[in-house]
Amino acid sequence: MSKSNSLESSAISGFSSASNKTYVHEASTLVLETIENGVKRHFIVPLAIAQRPRWRRKGTKLHIYNDHTFIAKHLSGGGLQCQVCMKSIPRRPGKQGYECRDCNLICHKQCHVRAPQACPNPTVLSMELSKLNSAAADRSIRKL
């Protein structure tokens, strides 16, 4: 099992700002979403690359599990509850949890791999996924 980490891509800049590590769990798939010439592209990031220290690429990191497309979020407002473990999500700086962008399920980062049901509105099935497995592909992502 991977150690939990607390970094996800910033929706504004596309780069992380809170930490130098991405939360990675071997049960979910990390996908990097980029926009190249106005076209969205999706790259599956192998676990070995995602676990590298200081892995930063421009784009949005999506965590796919059970057809949910989770994105790390700073969850504003008090009293939010994880919809998986039913415990409260504490308010603090940084991105405290994940939200499925298709069905709005909110949970702790470590709880996303325990989402009990498949997403009712999955968009992951329509994504055209490419594998980020070569040095050339890795370099092209850095330049975005």
What residues does each domain of the chain span?
29-143
Q: What CATH number has the domain spanning 29-143?
A: 3.30.60.20
pLDDT-based confidence at 74, cuts 50/70/90? confident
So what's the pLDDT on residue 53? Answer: 65
Given a cut of 70, whether residue 12 has pLDDT beyond it is no
So what's the pLDDT on residue 59? Answer: 85
So what's the pLDDT on residue 77? Answer: 67
Given a cut of 90, whether residue 103 has pLDDT beyond it is yes
Mean pLDDT throughout 44-54?
Answer: 77
Mean pLDDT score across all residues of the chain: 75
Mean pLDDT throughout 18-28?
Answer: 65
Q: What is the 3-state secondary structure (H, E, C) of 23-88?
A: CCCCCCEEEEEEEECCEEEEEEECHHHHCCCCCCCCCEEEEEECCEEEEEECCCCCCCECCCCCCE
